[in-house]
Chain A
Amino acid sequence: MATYKLFRRFNPVIFFSAFGLIFIGLLAIYSATYNNPDVSGNFTKQMVSAIVGLVLVLTITFLPTRYISISAYMLYGLNIMLLVAVLFIGKKISGQTSWFSIAGFGIQPSEFAKFTTVLALATFLNNKEKDTDITNLRDFSIAVFIGLLPVGLIMLQPDTGTSLVFLAMLLPILYWAGMPNHVLFFIVAPAITAISAFLGTYYFIGALLLVLIGLFFFKKNILISTLVLTATVLSGLSVNYVYNKLQPYQQKRIIAMFSPETDALGSGYNVIQSKIAIGSGGLWGKGFLQGTQTQLKYIPEQWTDFIFCMVGEEFGFLGSLIVVILFLTLIWQTIHIAYTCKNRFLSICSIGFSSIFLFHMVINLGMTMGIMPVIGIPLPFMSYGVSFLLANLCMLGVIMNAHRNRKDYT
């Protein structure tokens, strides 16, 4: 039966979740740029990008998988070169050199780098001839290098938010590729302890206790356990030392990341306003184009990082819930595909992309609702941005390709 066959090869759930988000995003961008002649073209640009992206998704979905895996390293290399080039000939916008301007369109190589880095990592971790083994220190280091090379270049732009995305996707990929539990624990423990130490002494002590329990649980030899514990304690203690060495303006920015109210003039102002906007939406929202907060343009650039304010204020709790459910559906479906897909390359890719979506979502929504640090990263499929949307749709294409070929091993 034709429909049955189509369903087997084409995953409508994931497809429509993504395009549902794009649709809501378009509504929100329309509302955010309405009455603002400077950016009235953004809606049209996003619309055109979505249509171009649709073609891209379908093309990648029905591409033979080996085409993707063969070109992975090449795309990665090309992207790295672009990241280098953008530092020299890129356009500087609000302090960051992350754009190429081509025929009036801004191209942001760092957005595509997320996609190509996952492809390269998946290719490396799936190398059958060399039998890559993640538990082997050399292979582990190479994988980390592939994942962190773009981070170095992006930090030079400097774009901290995007750099964090790479760190956030690297761990889930390595874990999915077979990194042992205790290694994950050894990496995560010092990081969590450092953040806890920053929040206060009691948090620091609490985190240390958890780490001790963890070490006991894994029962590794005493040398390794001591090493991890020392690293954890040192990272916790050094946080305050490093912090005190920073310039006052740098300290201020870090504090503002965690408690926006202290920087009510800068990034904190956006968060306060965005909380009010979302909160005032109530259950049903104020209606399309009726949001007083967002229409008043309190929040600069609300069509990018703060797009969720529009949804929260104008479509209320129900609209916000739909967005979150669509994201959860998309992410769970992708994890499901990663699990069921027999092709290891596609499986690793899928888990990498789902991690990127998840990280973007939690940071972005958390930031707009005031429970996450202010790190400026956009909301997948919804925020305005040609490069960002196209990169997301490339990822969607590979995920759907994985679904189509989930029964094949090669």
Chain B
Amino acid sequence: MDLSRRKNVYYFVSFVIVLVLTGRMVQLQLINPEQFDKESEKNSVKTIITTPARGLIFDRNYKLMVDNKPSYSVTITKKEFDTTNIPVLSEVFGITPEEFREFLKEIEGTNRFIPTRIVRDVEFKVISYIEENREKLKGVDYKTEPIRFYPNKFRASHLLGYTKEISKNQLKDQQSDYYKQGDMKGTTGLESSYEEQIRGEKGYEFILQDSKGREVGKLNEGKNDIKAESGYDLILSVDADLQQFAEELIGNRKGGIVAIDPNNGEILTLVSKPDFDLNYFSGKLSPEIWTKLNTDPDKPLFNRATLTKYPPGSTYKMVSALASMQEGIMKTNSTIPCEGSFTFGNRTFKDHGAYGSIGFSKSIEVSSNVFYYKLVLKIGLENWTKYGLEFGFGQKTGIDIPEETKGNLPSVEYFNKNFPGWTQGWIVSLGIGQGQLGVSPLQMAGYCMTLANSGTYNQPHLVKFLKNPSTGELIPVGYKKRELNIDKKYFDVVRYGMYNVVQGSGTGRGIKTSLVDIAGKTGTAQNTHGNDHSWFIAFAPYDNPRIAICVLVENAGFGAAVAAPICQRLILKYLFGSTDETEIIETEMELPD
């Protein structure tokens, strides 16, 4: 075979190919490399990440609650940055060079070629300095970023929540690689639970710059750029006016308020006091303020509306009443003799009065303790716990913010575990809502809603709709609803008791008004560390409830004194838009359906 000739074909072909490739290399790298070098300089592309605007938050009437405003952040591209500029830059920032070096240390490990944010929310004079000295300050740049802005008088700090710079650990643990050093992330409240919907999508801009760092245009005329997309807006169930009014009413006291529309579980107001100004968190959070908020003995960051677990006191009596009737232990018209005190074993439990033989309705109206000491012993702990669970105690309500306590609903297992050798005497005080029982104002509001509805429990929630920012489409958020296993006729009995608490001669008669029938119940949480805490739950109108409220005021003593009037004012405000009784009557405002 003519392999010796064919071999030469192979040699020849491969040689020609290598020759052509080498020729191309000569052309690219030797003949005019300056042109490419220049092009490469010109072509040095700066990738700028644009921060999307977080979704806005509106109240139920589309009143703006949380807004955004522009701010300036200073960035540094480490590859280009000249460290001899540190003294002059730190002077412009108003910090020491050491502090500036700390900033630089914090962005260690980030991409050296991409501008990385070192300080957010700087003053405009810093920006103009950078702009004027651009040639000298290579690698120093700024970008505008939207930050949170709270335009209203009310705070709603705990329900809205704040955003905070992502921590090193969160950065490491994140599932995707969305967050970069220095990014803001929803940390508490709605900002946290709806973070993924609200944060939007980052944008990317590719900017060409010359060797002096001057921008000479956009890569490919900006065709490669990706625009930042704003996040989804939230439309809340909260009534901003009612929220503001509630915050004013509770004033400087400590406590929590939750108001719910019983028809659907929409939270109208959620207040926790003391609170804090969310504007602290929108730009750069000063370490002094952060330390102050964290070390304040009144714990302003703590959400008292959803995280406290105090004994509910007498407000819990309706649970025992309903349990005894549903379990067939008592009839609707059964009575219990109520002397001034009750002795069980060697312990005597006191009451604030002797009422003789009274039925359920009266027992609620006057808030007899002896009635419920005796009743809870008839019911037994197991049944008592069962009905607490029915009303959502001892478990999370599933409200759409992350901060929430399960509270504490004692059970047989709980006592066996924590108090081995416990006796029936232990459960006597549970009958009047004291002892180991712990509930949050949110759980209490849910409970009050269920009483108002005669047994329908709607999951309490803050967000009604997500709004797509580009299409304007409203996406409803779904919530659960359940019916309690308690007969409606038993609810009638306790509801009538609650009616008489206010409308009759009960413990809440002080807030009686001719404008609307309010049903409520007072409660006092025994506090071994100071004055008792004051509870009041109420719903109105009695026949067709449109609002259910729980008010907790810490260290305010008896429930009727402080908590009940707050409740009444909120009910009037919500139902009539005003709290001035004469004004309401004069304008003959009809009670809307």
Contacts and interface: CB of A to CB of B under 8 A. Distances in A.
A208 interface: no
Most buried by A among B1, B14, B15: B14
B366 interface: no
Contacts of A176: 3, 6, 10
B45 A276 contact: no
Interface residues of B, number: 40
B21 A35 contact: no
Interface stretch (A90-98, A190-198, A316-324): A316-324
B25 to A, nearest CB: 5
Interface stretch (A66-74, A238-246, A327-335): A327-335
Contact of A280 (B21, B33, B177): B33
B421 to A, nearest CB: 56
A362 B21 CA distance: 8
Contacts of B9: 175
Contact of B28 (A327, A328, A369): A369
A328 B14 contact: yes
B419 interface: no
B45 A279 contact: no
Contacts of B220: 264-265, 269
Interface in B4-40: 4, 6-7, 9-11, 13-15, 17-18, 20-22, 24-26, 28-30, 32-33, 35-37, 39-40
Contacts of A280: 33, 36-37, 39-40
B15 A328 contact: yes
A48 to B, nearest CB: 26
B45 A298 contact: yes
A281 interface: yes
Given A282-B37, A321-B22, A312 B4 contact: no
Interface stretch (A51-59, A213-221, A250-258, A289-297): A289-297
B105 interface: no
Interface in A232-280: 264-265, 269, 273, 275-280
A321 B111 CA distance: 32
Nearest to B220: A264
Contacts of A338: 7, 10
A298 B35 CA distance: 18
Contacts of A354: 10, 14
Contacts of B223: 265
Contact of A276 (B13, B18, B39): B39
B16 to A, nearest CB: 10
Contacts, number: 114
A277 B10 contact: no
Contacts of A175: 6, 9
Contacts of B41: 292
A366 B37 contact: no
A335 B13 CA distance: 11
A351 interface: yes
Contacts of B113: 35, 295-297
B468 interface: no
B107 to A, nearest CB: 14
Please tell me the size bucket of the interface on A.
35 or more
B334 interface: no
Contacts of B14: 328, 331-332, 335, 354, 358
B263 interface: no
Contact of A172 (B10, B17, B28, B37): B10
Contacts of B279: none
A354 B18 CA distance: 14
Given A295-B113, A365-B21, A282 B33 contact: yes
A152 interface: no
A296 B44 contact: yes
A276 B36 contact: yes
Nearest to B23: A371
Contacts of B505: none
Contacts of A278: 25, 28-29, 36
Most buried by B among A264, A296, A312: A296
Contact of A279 (B17, B20, B21, B28): B28
Contacts of A366: 21, 24
B136 interface: no
A295 B114 CA distance: 11
A283 B30 contact: yes
B112 interface: yes
A339 interface: yes
Interface string B316-359: 00000000000000000000000000000000000000000000
A12 interface: no
A241 to B, nearest CB: 32
B197 interface: no
A178 interface: yes
B29 A292 contact: no
B224 interface: yes
B502 to A, nearest CB: 65
A296 B45 CA distance: 8
Contacts of A276: 36, 39-40, 43
B25 A369 contact: yes
A264 B221 CA distance: 11
Interface string B170-183: 00000001000000
Interface string B134-172: 000000000000000000000000000000000000000
A335 B18 contact: no
A275 B36 contact: yes
Contacts of B10: 172, 176, 335, 338, 351, 354
A172 B9 CA distance: 10
Contact of A293 (B3, B32, B40, B111): B40
A167 to B, nearest CB: 16
27 contacts: A172-B10, A175-B9, A178-B1, A265-B220, A275-B28, A276-B43, A277-B40, A278-B29, A278-B36, A279-B29, A280-B36, A280-B39, A295-B113, A297-B113, A298-B45, A320-B29, A324-B21, A327-B18, A331-B14, A335-B14, A351-B10, A354-B14, A358-B17, A361-B17, A365-B21, A369-B25, A369-B28
Interface of A: 35, 38, 172, 175-176, 178, 264-265, 269, 273, 275-283, 292-293, 295-298, 312, 316-317, 320-321, 324, 327-328, 331-332, 335, 338-339, 351, 354, 358, 361-362, 365-366, 369, 371
Given A293-B43, A362-B17, 15 more contacts: A172-B10, A178-B1, A269-B224, A273-B43, A275-B28, A280-B33, A281-B29, A283-B30, A283-B33, A292-B44, A295-B113, A316-B29, A321-B22, A327-B18, A339-B7
